[in-house]
Amino acid sequence: MQLSVDLKEKSYDIIIERGVLDRIGDFADLDRKVLIISDDGVPMEYVHTVMRQCPNGYYHIVRQGEGAKSLPVYEVLCRRLLELNFTRTDCIIALGGGVIGDLAGFVASTYLRGIEFIGIPTTTLSQIDSSIGGKVAVNLDHVKNIIGSFYHPSVVLIDPETLRTLPGRHFVNGLVEAVKAGLIYDASILDLFEQGDPKAQVDEIIYRSLLVKKAVVEQDEKEKGLRKILNFGHTLGHGIESVYGLSQLLHGECVAIGMIPMLENEALKARVLRIYETLGIKSDVAYDPDKVFDVMQKDKKAQGDSITVVKVREAGKAVLEKIPKQQLYQFLKEIKPQS
Ligand SMILES: NC(=O)c1ccc[n+]([C@@H]2O[C@H](COP(=O)([O-])OP(=O)(O)OC[C@H]3O[C@@H](n4cnc5c(N)ncnc54)[C@H](O)[C@@H]3O)[C@@H](O)[C@H]2O)c1
Ligand SMILES: [Zn+2]
């Protein structure tokens, strides 16, 4: 399966194909210097598979985890490129999950004011969501994605075979973004989740979710309006993630919790909870609403008394709504199971 993200001179193709990891040369020029950036959680066999196809290939493996999205790691990578004399005609391959995509993409966007990068996402989260849309960034202190830019890859190669080795919890974590895509834009994605084992449907789930992201990003690349609907479940989700993210919960798990109170339709809510149950996602994680609300208050993006949130009343349709910030606190209390 193939789709193209149409952003004028920044347009690029996304290939979803089992085994494409072995055929990168069909879609990208590898006859130049290539630096593969990956992390030590990504199986080395994938790195070697890519290396075999690059006559002038190098690789750099960073330590896995959110900590890699940092200025010190960024600097190490830039220095490596400099030592290897990379020029603007050479390229970077981001081989890994969302952490590697964000980090390697940010390096690519700034080294020599921008060199080409190829995205090869290997987690459900990155294949469904983060590998397209052009947001690349690193964190500073504990503030996520605060240093970054909009920068697009030249091509994205998705090999669902790589998900074979992904731990189950991470597999499900990324699928939450597909449930989100279904709720805000394309209800047929929800049907896919109801047709049995999502593993068997995963190629189609990835494809249809990317179609949603493509449609939204093409209409609003820099998040001036419509693109905000992609933040469905993320306002509360990010709040929970910033308190519990590093220790206990993954991004998708927080978003799963955050979507529930924004569903203003009881039948749909029950439907989504059934999907969570099949996937084994817990929506009743205990957390402290006061602590979460406190962090949300401090969030620089949430200044003022009101905040715009995304709500869904009917599967496949999102609406933006301005609400008093205090209401978020009520939502947090509402979904919080007593701990
Ligand atoms: N740029 C965007 O638009 C965007 C959107 C959403 C999330 N993000 C970012 O994405 C990041 C999270 O991404 P993620 O969930 O992919 O996490 P991740 O990149 O940390 O990957 C999860 C874990 O899986 C391992 N792994 C990766 N591929 C594997 C494979 N095929 N087999 C076995 N193990 C594998 C990694 O080493 C890591 O330990 C966050 O930093 C988040 O901010 C970015
Ligand atoms: Zn997300």
The domains located in the chain, with CATH, are 2-165 (3.40.50.1970), 169-335 (1.20.1090.10)
Active site annotation includes 9: no
Task: Tell me the backbone φ, ψ of residue 23, rounded to 5 degrees.
Answer: -130, 40
Pairing outcome for strands 12-16 and 2-5: antiparallel
Query: And the tokens for 258?
Result: 């955050």
Catalytic choice (116, 144, 152, 177): 177
The mean pLDDT value of the chain amounts to 92
Other Cβ atoms within 10 Å of 5 Cβ, number: 22
Positions in the chain short of pLDDT 50: 338-339
What is the CA(267)–ligand 1 centre distance, in A?
32
> What pLDDT does residue 339 have?
42
Other Cβ atoms within 10 Å of 55 Cβ, number: 11
Instruction: Write the single-letter amino acid at 338.
Output: Q
The residue contributing the CA closest to ligand 1 atom 25 is 41
Mutate which of 170, 202, 221, 255 for ligand 1? The one with the most ligand atoms within 8 Å of its CB, which is 170
Its pTM stands at 0.93
Active site annotation includes 48: no
The residue contributing the CA closest to ligand 1 atom 4 is 130
> What pLDDT does residue 247 have?
64
Ramachandran region, residue 220 (left: φ > 0; alpha: ψ -120 to 50; beta: rest):
beta
Pairing outcome for strands 91-96 and 34-39: parallel
Alpha-carbon gap, residue 229 to 235, rounded angstroms: 11
Residues contacting 80, CB < 8 A, separation 6+: 35, 58, 60
The residue contributing the CA closest to ligand 1 atom 2 is 130
Nearest ligand 1 atom to alpha carbon 144: 43
Active site annotation includes 213: yes
Pairing outcome for strands 306-314 and 34-39: unpaired
The residue contributing the CA closest to ligand 1 atom 37 is 41
Nearest ligand 1 atom to alpha carbon 124: 16
Angle between helices 326-335 and 289-298 (to 10 degrees): 150
The residue contributing the CA closest to ligand 1 atom 39 is 41
Active site annotation includes 139: no
Alpha-carbon gap, residue 260 to 246, rounded angstroms: 22
Query: And the tokens for 204?
Result: 């189609």
Which residues does ligand 1 sit against, CB inside 6 Å? 39, 41-43, 64, 66, 69, 96-100, 102, 122-123, 125-126, 129-130, 133, 135, 144-145, 162, 165-166, 170, 173, 251
> What pLDDT does residue 303 have?
63
Angle between helices 266-279 and 168-184 (to 10 degrees): 160
> What pLDDT does residue 92 have?
98
